[in-house]
Structure 1
Amino acid sequence: MRNHLVLILAMMATAARGFSNCRCGLMTTLTNGMDMIYELPALDMGSCTNHFECKQRCTKEYNDLTHNGDMYHMIDAFTSVGQFLCQEFKYDLHNEYVYPYYELCNGPWQYADSHSKQMLCCRNHEQYQCTSRGL
């Protein structure tokens, strides 16, 4: 009985503080599919049927962070969007576009119909100028 009460109290506390059911991520294509470079803060959609709103809000978050997909936009005096993403990502990238994706209520990740203006290239967590050969 005590475990049941603890579970109910935990569920009530979660409901009281809001449920962030829309996840937004910046993805890139790798040989085995998509890989997340960076996850944006989760958003509360209020319901699991608001796919359009989740997609729109994730697209806005992506555009705000990346200055509409510009990998060379400076976040501060020393760090570009691309450099920030390279520091966050665990693998090297060569000539890869960055795509915003969204997920609603633990459903499948879905493409948010946008991509970066430039390709992203990272080596040892450092951004470098992409070339057509990815060298």
Structure 2
Amino acid sequence: MQLLLLMLSSVAIASAQTEEWCRCAAFVTYERTEIMVYEAAEVPITACDAVAAEECKAGCVAELSTASDNGDLWHITKKGITIGQYICSYLAKQLFYYLHNHRVYGYYEVCGGAWQYADIQSQQMLCCVAGKHEHCVSDETMNSGEH
């Protein structure tokens, strides 16, 4: 009986290691950590090799570009809020209320490997004030008295 369980466990572990999947997500850097702020639908791939990694990357770029109108944080979603507001609301739920001048970056993950940068980022900087998406104001503008 124990031998049967050991064999079944080995088969389960082996099949889990060869399962193909491609995850796509958007992250912001906050202090010393990366925070996933959006996860797109998985991109179908057929292997866990270098060719599949390129397919995954291309699929993720397309998926994230479509979802955000090419990284536009002021794009209005189907829910009637901006992409930036969606992210700021999510961050506030995670107790991150303030974020100033941060880009949102797209990443992909192939078959459980490390997240890799997908060469896509937001068009604008993201600024969240108490969970509300705001236009970013640079220090120079604040110091000159212009708004």
Asked if TM exceeds 0.5, the reply is yes
Give the structure 1 partner of residue 43 of structure 2.
43
Unaligned runs of 5+ in 2: 143-147
Amino acid of the structure 2 residue aligned with 1:85: I
Greater displacement, 110-119 / 35-44: 35-44
Greater displacement, 111-120 / 27-36: 27-36
- Give CA deviations for 1:90-123 in whole Å, capped at 9, x if unaligned: 2232111011000101111100112111011112
Give the structure 1 partner of residue 27 of structure 2.
27
Greater displacement, 28-37 / 105-114: 28-37
Answer yes or no: is the 8 Å Cα contact 1:27–1:99 preserved in 2: yes
Q: 2:74 aligns with which of 72, 75, 82?
A: 72
Give the structure-2-normalised TM-score. 0.73
Answer yes or no: is the 8 Å Cα contact 2:20–2:110 preserved in 1: no
Give the structure 1 partner of residue 122 of structure 2.
116
Matched, 1:106 2:106: no
SS of aligned partner of 1:35: strand
C-alpha spacing 1:129/1:41, structure 2 compared with 1 (3 Å): same
TM-superposed CA distance for 1:30, in Å, is 2.3
CA RMSD of aligned residues (A): 2.6
TM-superposed CA distance for 1:77, in Å, is 7.1
Superposed counterparts of 1:84-95, under 5 Å: 84-89=86-91, 90=94, 91=96, 92-95=98-101
Amino acid of the structure 1 residue aligned with 2:137: T
- Larger helix fraction of residues: 2
Give the structure-1-normalised TM-score. 0.79
TM-superposed CA distance for 1:32, in Å, is 1.0
